[in-house]
Structure 1
Amino acid sequence: MQLRVLGSSAGGGFPQWNCNCPQCDGVRHGRVRATPRTQSSVAVSADGHDWLLINASPDVLTQIQRTPALQPARALRDSGIAAVLLMDAQIDHVTGLLMLRERSSPLPVLATREVHDELAGSLPLARVLSHYCGVAPHVLPLDGTRFSVPGLPGVVVQALALASSPPPYSPHRSAPRPGDNIGVLLHNPASGARVFYAPGLGQVTPELLELMATCSAVLVDGTFWSGDEMQRLGLGTRSAADMGHLPQSGAGGMLEQLARLPASVRRVLIHINNTNPILVEDGPQRAELVRRGIEVAHDGMVIDF
């Protein structure tokens, strides 16, 4: 089983098109040692030919072009993307669906009932796509049931409701529901290995920490280094918690949570905002991650399990 990181940045990518924060301006002008990133998405395959796309980033066309495995030539028109799984209804995770509209058959889309409702209402991408390839919706169970992905034998997934926030355009923004945001547990039936993926994570519960401790790798929310990052830089008024993200630093932060996992668990931060100083490869925050044995995801990273 293989997981490929197609995009490792938060919404807007890195550098963000209109941002002149120290990281974005620095990487544009060569003053900062950092690597550009596209918006958050991964792909998983059991055979290396057919893939489950987890989140459809606005950068999906660039990501496909950079990943030959996603563009096989078995027919005149072909794709290695057999299905898409959506973890929430955020713009940076769903608008790439529009770029996949040239399919000759309905696109299988796996999501919770809550996310499907958003795609039929507040952000009606399913209705738009009905005029093109169409969508074949599959509702993800949140009761702990493991399920196989249609058209992808060998890929077994488990969806877990997480504490986070629905999109700003959702009518449920101020009253989150369990299915608004999920993490996924990816199982390799052959090896027994498991990988946990959660790019949007506002809280790590004892139960979730116990589950993460049984995984060979975890790829978790690396959006912000500090809770007041956007406010301190003058780029916003909301804290990390207000946006449904657990910052890395501070009491109870992601670094503290990851330190509780066994050394055998590979720990990777993903969905990294352009303001996060861990993007600076020779900076003190990155050095702190190295000291703690925590990796920073990058586009093109491969995890075999």
Structure 2
Amino acid sequence: MKIRVLGSGAGGGFPQWNCNCHNCHRLRHKEMNGKARTQSSIAVSTDNKNWLLFNTSPDIRAQLEAFPAIQPKEGVRDTGIKAIMLIDSQIDHTTGLLMLREGKPLDVYCTEMVKQDLTTGFPLFNMLADYCTVNHHPIPFDGSSFTIPGIDDLRFYTQALKSKAPPYSPHRHDPHDGDNIGVIIEQISTGKKVFYSPGLGEIEPHVMAAMQTVDCLLVDGTFWTNDEMCTQNISHKKAREIGHLPQSGEGGMIEVLSGVAKARKILIHINNTNPILDDDSEQRKILDAAGIEVSYDGLEIDL
């Protein structure tokens, strides 16, 4: 199984277009050892030809142009994208669908709750009906397995996570199972597994159980501290309030991952304010000592 990190940043990417925080300012002025990042998305394949996209960020066009394996190979119009799975309906995970409107109908796999959001509060599916159209395929969120036609030798297990629907959602303040999911991706022929969850607000028992069964974790790396955006005068909202488990502190991601023995541990969906974006920071040294990696755009993982 080959996993390509198309984008490793949180909403807005890094540097964010209108941000002058400590990280964004230093990266623009070449005063830090770090990499620019587009907004979070991955692609998965077993044959390096037929790819499943997980999320479609607003940066999808640039991400595809940077990834030759998924680019057109045959005919006047072609793509290696065979299907798309949405883990939630957040703007930074779905807006890229609009960039894919020139092609054939899009086969999109998502929960019924995500479909509701994308046909009501943010009606992307309705808008695309006049372009390529969307073929929606409902997926479970109870841990049961399913496969996707055209994506050979892969099986998927999706689980509901505690989270909030996007601010635009008609049920923003009425959470439902299926608003946000974590995904175990298994290669059937080898048994190798990866757990993908760029948004984790709470480590429920079934989440920890999933983490213990896989060979690689690609999990929420949004914030270093719970009050990160507050202390930088960017927002009054704390990490846990908006559905992200910070890395540091009691019960944080570092502590959680210390209880997972065998898996390769990689953080994804990293906010522009997070000090781990600086490769020379003390926070990166802490992650290094804990055996935790920080993903970057273009990272390829072979399992």
* 2:135 equivalent to 1:136: yes
Question: Matches of 1:205 and 1:113 in 2, distance apart?
Answer: 22
Q: Where in structure 2 are the equivalents of 1:281-300 lying within 5 Å?
A: 281-300=279-298
**Corresponding residue SS for 1:171:** coil
1:273, distance to aligned residue in structure 2 (A)? 0.2
* Residues 49 and 72, structure 1, Cα contact 8 Å, conserved in 2: no
Q: What is the CA–CA distance in structure 1 between the aligned matches of 2:164 and 2:247, rounded to whole Å?
A: 18
Report what 1:78 is aligned to.
78
**Contact 2:10 2:40 (C-alpha < 8 Å) held by counterparts:** yes
Using the TM superposition, give the Cα deviation of residue 143 of structure 1 relative to its aligned residue in structure 2, in angstroms. 2.6
Aligned residue in 2 for 1:60: 60
* Alpha-carbon shift at residue 155 of structure 1 (Å): 2.2
Note the C-alpha offset of 1:106.
1.2
Residue type of the partner of 1:175? D
RMSD: 0.8
Name the stretch that deviates more: 293-302 or 140-149: 140-149
Range with bigger deviation, 77-86 or 141-150 = 141-150
Aligned to 2:268: 270
Give yes or no for the alignment of 1:216 onto 2:183. no
* 2:101 aligned with 1:101: yes
Which AA in structure 1 matches 2:70?
L
Deviation at 1:32, TM superposition (A): 1.1
Specify every segment of 5 or more residues in structure 1 that has no aligned partner in the other structure, as ranges: none
User: Where in structure 2 are the equivalents of 1:164-203 lying within 5 Å?
Assistant: 164-203=163-202
Q: Is the 8 A contact 2:142 2:160 kept in 1?
A: no
Equivalent position of 1:157 in the other structure? 156
Q: How many angstroms apart in 1 are the aligned matches of 2:137 and 2:102?
A: 20
1:302 aligns with 2:300: yes
For the 8 Å contact 1:55–1:87, the answer to whether it is kept is: yes
Any idea what the Cα deviations from partners look like across 1:253-289, whole Å, max 9, x if unmatched? 1110000001x21000000000000000000000100
Deviations 1:189-211 (A, max 9, x none): 11101100000010112332122
Query: 1:301 Cα deviation (Å)?
Result: 0.8
Letter in 1 for 2:269: H
Percent of aligned pairs with the same amino acid: 51
Question: Partner of 2:45 in structure 1?
Answer: 45
- 1:293 aligned partner, one-letter code: G
SS at match of 1:64: helix
CA contact (8 A) 1:10 1:274 kept: yes
Q: Which residue of 2 aligns with 1:123?
A: 122
**3-state SS of 2:240 partner:** coil
How far residue 217 of structure 1 moved from its aligned partner, in angstroms, is 0.3
- CA deviation digits over 1:128-175, x for unaligned, max 9? 100000000000112322111122122211111111111111122222
Distance 1:207 1:272 in 2: 24
Unaligned runs of 5+ residues in structure 2 are: none
- Structure 2 counterpart of 1:99, one-letter code: M
- Per the alignment, residue 247 of structure 2 pairs with 248
Greater alpha carbon shift after TM alignment, 60-69 vs 166-175: 166-175
Greater mean alpha carbon deviation, residues 145-154 or residues 83-92: 145-154
Question: Are the equivalent residues in 1 in contact too, given 2:83–2:107 (CA < 8 A)?
Answer: yes
Rounded Cα–Cα distance in structure 2 between residues aligned with 1:73 and 1:115: 32
Say which SS state the counterpart of residue 144 (structure 1) adopts: strand
- Find the aligned partners of 1:296 and 1:114 in 2 and give their Cα distance: 31
Deviation, 1:2, is: 0.8
Distance in 2, Cα, partners of 1:35 & 1:254: 22
State the TM-score, normalized to the length of structure 1: 0.98
Q: Tell me how far apart the structure 2 counterparts of residues 189 and 133 of structure 1 sit (CA, whole Å).
A: 32
Greater displacement, 23-32 / 200-209: 200-209
